[in-house]
A and B are shown apart, each in its own frame.
Chain A
Amino acid sequence: MAAIKLQLVLFWASVGFCFLGTFFFVASLSFRKDNFVRYGVWMSFLALVPLTAALADRWMQTGHFPYWGIYEVFTSYAWGGLFFYLSAQTWKSSLKIAGIVVLPVVMLMVGVAVMNSAEMQEIPRTFFTYWLGIHILFAKLSYGSVLISAALALSYLIKRRQEEKGEISPLMAKLPDLDQIDHRSYQFAAFGFVMLGIMMASGAVWAFKAWGRYWNWDPIETWAFISWLVYGLYLHLRITMGWRGRKASWLALLAVILVIFAFFGVPLVSDSVHEHLKYTNS
């Protein structure tokens, strides 16, 4: 119990920093204070510290990587998203603004996780396989990538609207030009597409080794497949039909909604072989 209490304190601390970060990001747009973005990024780093510590504690407590049950799944995905964002913005500082989408999503996910049961559950033996590790790793990479793609698509739409109105905020003015934002969003969507593909392929290998069927039209796998198709559609429309800018950005936003629904919404409405994603009330 002491371990769970410590984890809850750390998770709530992370939620607090995410809340402050979200506030700074939103304020930077609303009040046109571009230096608030810097504070938002600081808060993101501060949020990552207790989140990492809590997950490490959970890992030690259970003896396995935190992937079982909503409590573990949501917090580890939140960590993946936040880590991916912080890595990406370190690589390209123009990606800092993606925090306006990433931070509230991370805050919400950790919040939902701590509302769920933190009870340790017995894991079926079919889940002890390295294919599952690969499956989960690529799921997290795809999630982080598509979140950033969506954040950039949103930034594109906001900046474009401001440019059309002729009222560009200092923050938006600091961002790269529209073409570059659009291009970065495309790059992250392409990366997410590849990661989603590998996630599905590794999941199929795992299912075949465990049950003799690589595809079962399970709700979560099917919605993940639909998300993958929509990203495939996005890439084809972009490459072959020249979809750029506004249309591509809206499609990137639609696609990320599908991914979030596939990963976290489907277990609410359907039974699935993905037992580790089952919701349980605390």
Chain B
Amino acid sequence: MIFLLAVVAAFGMISPATGIFQTWWFAGLGLVFLVNLSACTLQQAINSYRLWSRRNALIKIDHNMDESILSDKDFTDSIQPIMSRQRYKCIFNGAGVTLWTKGRFGIWGATLFHVGLIIITLGALVSGTMKMSGHIRVAEGEIRFEQHQEYEGIEEGPFFDEGEHRGFGISLLKQNIVLGKNGDVDDIISDIAILENGQVARQASLGEKESLIYRGIRIFEQEAGFAPFIEIAGPNKEILFRTYVLLDSKTIGDKTQFYLENLPVPNTKYRASLHFYPDMVQQGGKTSTGKYTLSNPAAVVSVFDGDYKIAEKIIKPGGFLDFAGYRFRLGDIRHWNGYDIVNDRGANLVFAGSWAAIAGLILMYLMPYKKIQIQSSPQGAGLQVLGVTNRVRKPFEEELAKLRARFACHPGEAGVWSK
């Protein structure tokens, strides 16, 4: 399964056009991996429990064994200091057997690590099938609601329930521009209010790397721009169009342009376009923006009849452009912010799984498990020292060999267990 996942992921990278990671069968593969991993982890957990269990000896305890050696008080008293010095703890003593362990929690390290991976995979599947992420633009003073139809772009997993939309309002109170040392924009902070039933439920200031978590939904500030007020009046001064328009932006080189293309003039064949400059600078016949701040706001407004430009003018807020009996007026300028809104229940599972996996690794690597069984051989033929570990076998075997040698060579006690 691991090999298959690696190959499929590599194929998805080599051939990105196939969009493998978004297909149903890739999600299916994740599900099969989850089942496989769960089955293996269950087996591992059973094995870990067998090691953990106090009464679970390394080899079955033979109750017909000669118990007299290990039940001899002198004998156990002689083992105790040797094992304790090496930080072993006695977990069983009887029936001719003593069991000693060290780092018992370490047994669960690998199991916990794999349980962590299961939780991560589950979280990823929950995210893949139930996540919602969308984008909303809000102008200063405007209120938008966390509802499907309010999003300008939205992605919902196949099992996302529309009832999961919270319906609260988001209002941009004010946009603050933080300038760096050289006058460039360092950050754009938006003061937002969350509204529930028309009442302010929460207020927050969001910068570029900050998020607001409200009722389990994360709100990230992603973009910013300008929203000039535009009014178009007809020949009889009737208002045909009147609203704040959220301008698009594009960056060419190190300059950002703010624009609106192909705005239809209602009930006419004309179309208007607007290029906005928050800090208009005119040099050598070229118009550009000096800064992002509204130091010298102005717009180049053009009106087209088909492909032909019939009027063009630079206008400032409050200014207007007359064309074919109509009037295009530029009002005050507001800011807008774009927010990514994410409802991802799988994310917390993924992070919980990550912590579990890391805890498992810590147990696995920092608490090596060792279990030693010292028992009299059947019919009192001598002593057996057996051991098991989840760490490197060779040094442990050396440790067991030393113990065997030590018990056998212990001069004053030899008679105790050789009987």
Contact = CB atoms under 8 A, between A and B. Distances in A.
Contacts of A178: none
A212 B350 contact: no
Contacts of A226: 6, 9-10, 13
B358 A212 contact: no
Contact of A233 (B2, B124, B133): B2
A129 B6 contact: no
Nearest to A205: B351
Interface centre among B12, B13, B124, B357 (most CB of A within 10 A): B13
A222 B13 contact: yes
B409 to A, nearest CB: 28
Nearest to A227: B6
Interface stretch (A31-39, A94-102, A103-111, A196-204): A196-204
Interface in A190-234: 194, 197-198, 201, 204-205, 208-215, 217, 219, 222-223, 225-226, 229-230, 232-233
Given A201-B358, A210-B209, A226-B10, A232 B350 contact: no
A229 B5 CA distance: 8
B347 to A, nearest CB: 6
Interface residues of A, number: 33
Please classify the interface of chain A as helix (H, G, I), strand (E, B), loop, or mixed, using the class held by over half of its residues: helix
B140 interface: no
Given A194-B365, A212-B340, A124 B2 contact: no
B392 interface: yes
B217 to A, nearest CB: 10
A212 B124 CA distance: 14
Nearest to A210: B209
Contact of A212 (B9, B12, B21, B344): B344
Contact of A219 (B13, B208, B209, B354): B13
B356 to A, nearest CB: 11
A125 B357 CA distance: 30
A161 interface: no
Interface centre among B2, B5, B9 (most CB of A within 10 A): B2
Size range of the chain B interface in the assembly: 35 or more
Given A217-B21, A229-B9, A126 B209 contact: yes
Please classify the interface of chain B as helix (H, G, I), strand (E, B), loop, or mixed, using the class held by over half of its residues: helix
Nearest to A198: B358
A124 B354 CA distance: 27
A229 B4 CA distance: 10
A64 interface: no
A128 interface: yes
A201 B354 contact: yes
B34 to A, nearest CB: 15
26 contacts: A124-B208, A125-B187, A125-B207, A125-B208, A126-B209, A129-B209, A183-B394, A194-B365, A197-B358, A197-B361, A201-B354, A211-B222, A212-B211, A212-B218, A212-B342, A212-B344, A213-B133, A213-B342, A219-B13, A223-B13, A226-B6, A226-B10, A226-B13, A229-B6, A233-B2, A270-B13
Interface of B: 2-3, 5-6, 9-10, 12-13, 21, 124, 127, 133, 184, 186-187, 207-209, 211, 218, 220, 222, 340, 342, 344, 347, 350-351, 354, 357-358, 361, 365, 392, 394
Given A125-B208, A201-B358, A270-B13, 5 more contacts: A212-B211, A212-B340, A212-B344, A226-B13, A229-B6
